[in-house]
Chain A
Amino acid sequence: MDVSQYLDIFIDETKEHLQNLNTHILELEQDGENMDTINEIFRAAHSLKGMAGTMGYKRMQTLTHDMENVFSEVRNGNIKVDSDMIDLLFKCLDALEEYLAAIQETADEGTNENEPLIKGLNDILNSKGSDKAKEEKPAKTEEAPKKEASNKEEKWREIKLEDAVKTVIKEGGTNGFKAYGFTVYIQESCLLKAARAFLVFKALEEVGEVIVSKPSAQDIEDESFEFDFSVIVMTDQPFDKVVAAIKNVSEIEDAVGGEVELKDEPEAEKVEEVEKETLPVQTTQAPQTAKANTQVNAEKKAANKPVVNRTVRVDIEKLDSLMNLVSELIISKNSLVSVAGSVVGTSNIAFNEQIEYLESVTTNLHESVMKVRMVPIENTVNKFPRMIRDLSKKLNKKMELYMTGEDTELDRTVVDEIGDPLMHLLRNSADHGLESAEIRAERGKPEVGSIFLDAYQDGNNVVIEVRDDGNGIDIEKVKNKAIEKGKITAEQAELMSDKEAIDLLFQPSFSTAEVVSDVSGRGVGLDVVKSKIEALSGEIEVKTKLGEGSTFTIRLPLTLAIIQALMIVVGDEKYAISLGAIQTIESIRPDEIKKVQGKEVINLRGNVIPLVRLNNVLDLEDKHDGTSDMIVLIAKKGDRYAGLVVDELIGQMEIVIKSMGKYAGNCKLISGATILGDGEVALILDANALI
């Protein structure tokens, strides 16, 4: 069978299992006795082995098989978990990741046998009475199915045998062939059900001949069956051997069966049914009962299992095109609204109602599509605990990573891109931030350094903070380094505020680490981080206190495509400004404006807020007469405020953000453009750049 169609699923699933293993082996390191963790690891390793086997990746299968053996021993209490073993296991995971990377590139696992790893695993096994374990293992696996066997119905007995089949069975009987019926249960975690079933069929064809199956072979191939199927096999092999052949296929939970006896019993049942239905229907009888059966089965499952998420994997490109279509729809809705408003004498109430309805539908549609594209950052940040552990060993510093808000959701494309910058920041914290154990002891800090990764949603933004309780940024050191590198002069350094000095860190090739380690210090970190985050329309801020630690705060917009905006007029031009950035709209009398250090400020309920006159910023004439009240939008960025003076408010509108391309997109104040209902282009002001 061609398994290439399952390659994508295989890669996705393998990634998940590897991540799972990483997480749980970390847990295991903390608590080597935790049975739940060990079981979880065992399960993941087992699925991995099965999947690799199905796909024909032998080397991967061998490695996971040996890992599984080790886990099995740990589970049975024959081996104690120690640090060397954890290290080795992590190396195995890295090797598996290499295989996976190779598979992803070339659909082939490569030729690296990873013999040292396999040897290492075997050494662990051999060192602790493996004989005993070997005996125990089969015993155990045998035990489990037996226990479960009682739960499994022998559904094959419900198969209606057609007369032709009965004849075959009878004839076979005279030639020494026996008919056995089986119901095969596939593990519910199995994704490639059809592939498993196929393998079972293949295994059966080797020992005998499948004469009947339920559901039909076609249905099984189409995966239209629950987690079990029944077959009747003609074979000259003993029963046990056939069962063994089935169970050899991985991810098969169980197979129950027995010899088919041609008794009158099924006949009676058949008669019963015939009574109910007219004769021509009889042929469709089997599928019907099959359906009924699966229904019963499904209900039973629903009762004793937590609800399984029903999901569909969708190519991100399809979602992109869906998003584009929604954008188009919103633009055309906007033009409809503006047509309705401009045509005189069309105050048709019904028409306006429909427009409003359309508006709410498009808004909801947009929200739904956006939600579909949102994924938790979990998948990205889950690899960090492992990374911190490795760093801790490498740098010989004790440290611990605490994460919160892994379930915070972001647009898929953003989640994919944010991993690298976060990794840089964490490495920075581990390498530059945290002090060595001696210095920590001197400063009266706990021996183990702490790094925090907190994510949360804040209005229309998602905030991710990377915080450590290390040394903080030494502003003087940064300034000296900048002078040394000729980036600034000593006089400039004098005048520089702390914030400006910290901003130096984000310039290309700037590193304050005295020793260049292979973790960080080459100065390719923070400027890359910054540009990457800015490319995602986000921003990064740093707060630091020498001796106490530093916090890097990343702010990212929830969505990149469609926003709620406030339409304003400055001079005679229309601009859009993201509603999320606006706190309040104030009416300010000109005499309320005070001057502080030559800059205009207003005192708003106790807060001193600097004023930004947009007509100055945008090179437009000041239309204001200087006596009447001014409209001021209070914008917020982090904990800073600014008052933006505008000439006129138009109102709120849902806008689609369009890129302006490389020729016109260089203005920092403008974050994009949008198309208004009347077809005109309005520019989107970036409130963050104005503060």
Chain B
Amino acid sequence: MDEIALSVEVIQYVKIKIGDEYFGIDIKYVDNIVRMQHITRVPKSPDYIKGVINLRGEVIPVFSLRLKMGLEEIEENKYFRIIILKYEGESVGIIVDEVKEVVNISSDAVEKVYHNSAEGYQNFLSGVGKTECGLISLLDINEVLSDKVL
């Protein structure tokens, strides 16, 4: 019994909302969460790159998670947030519909997702976590920040 208990790891996720679904982002990648601000468009870049913002003197590119996942864009509202991720030394912002809270999910409550059988945005998931208030799709940051578009 003890052994099994030890191998269970609890990871904190930032729970976000896109459309009607909830997604989780491993908190170790999250550097900051900021409100929407003026985004400077970068010409000749992929659609999902909305542009760049100034975050305390640094110029940071911003992705639209909706466009990245092949969803329609919706009109900006006050719940919109930019999550600043720090991944492999680079800072990137992703726009999400809403940020809910931080949740703890232990690794034994995560159902793995296999990419070869995945459809749609499942390609961007590392797994699905079960919590008391429903399922959370856990985002695989490496995939989200790749140039893959759905």
Contact = CB atoms under 8 A, between A and B. Distances in A.
A660 B52 contact: yes
A675 interface: yes
A663 B54 contact: no
A303 interface: no
A347 to B, nearest CB: 28
A276 to B, nearest CB: 61
A619 B92 CA distance: 24
Interface stretch (B27-35, B37-45, B133-141): B37-45
B58 interface: yes
A660 B61 contact: yes
B54 A681 contact: yes
A673 B40 contact: yes
B43 A681 contact: no
Instruction: Give the size range of B's interface with the partner.
Output: 20 to 34
B125 to A, nearest CB: 21
Contact of A661 (B38, B54, B90): B90
Nearest to B147: A663
A590 B52 CA distance: 34
Nearest to A672: B59
A682 interface: yes
Contacts of A658: 58-59
A664 B54 contact: no
B44 A660 contact: no
Interface residues of A, number: 26
B57 A619 contact: no
A669 interface: yes
A105 interface: no
A367 interface: no
A662 B90 contact: yes
A619 B38 contact: no
Interface in A611-657: 617-620
A680 interface: yes
Given A658-B58, A660-B61, A663-B92, A573 B42 contact: no
Determine which residue in A618, A661, A662, A670 has the highest number of CB atoms from chain B within 10 A of its CB, and name it: A661
Contact of B40 (A662, A668, A683): A683
Nearest to A658: B59
B92 to A, nearest CB: 6
Contacts of B63: 663
B42 A675 contact: no
B42 A683 contact: yes
Contact of A331 (B43, B57, B91, B92): B57
A192 to B, nearest CB: 40
A499 B56 CA distance: 45
B54 A660 contact: no
A664 B45 contact: yes
Nearest to B90: A661
Interface in B33-84: 38, 40-45, 49, 51-54, 57-61, 63
Given A658-B59, A659-B59, A675-B57, A664 B52 contact: yes
A667 interface: yes
B43 A680 contact: no
B145 interface: yes
B40 A573 contact: yes
B43 A669 contact: yes
Contact of A680 (B45, B54, B60, B61): B54
B90 A663 contact: yes
Given A659-B59, A661-B60, A675-B59, A667 B54 contact: no
A143 interface: no
B90 A681 contact: no
Interface in A63-93: none
A667 B43 contact: yes
Contacts of A675: 54, 57, 59
Interface in A87-121: none
A328 interface: yes
Contacts of B92: 661, 663
Contact of A679 (B42, B54, B61, B91): B54
Given A658-B58, A659-B59, A619 B49 contact: no
A522 to B, nearest CB: 32
A433 B131 CA distance: 71
Nearest to B63: A663
B38 A680 contact: yes
**A664, A667, A668, A673, most chain B CB atoms within 10 A:** A664
Contact of A660 (B38, B42, B43, B145): B42
Interface of B: 38, 40-45, 49, 51-54, 57-61, 63, 90-92, 145
11 contacts: A618-B43, A660-B52, A661-B59, A661-B91, A663-B49, A664-B42, A670-B42, A673-B40, A673-B52, A680-B40, A681-B53
Interface of A: 328, 331, 573, 617-620, 658-664, 666-670, 673, 675, 679-683
Given A618-B43, A663-B145, A664-B49, 15 more contacts: A573-B40, A573-B41, A658-B58, A660-B52, A660-B61, A663-B92, A664-B45, A667-B42, A667-B43, A670-B44, A675-B54, A675-B59, A680-B54, A681-B53, A683-B43
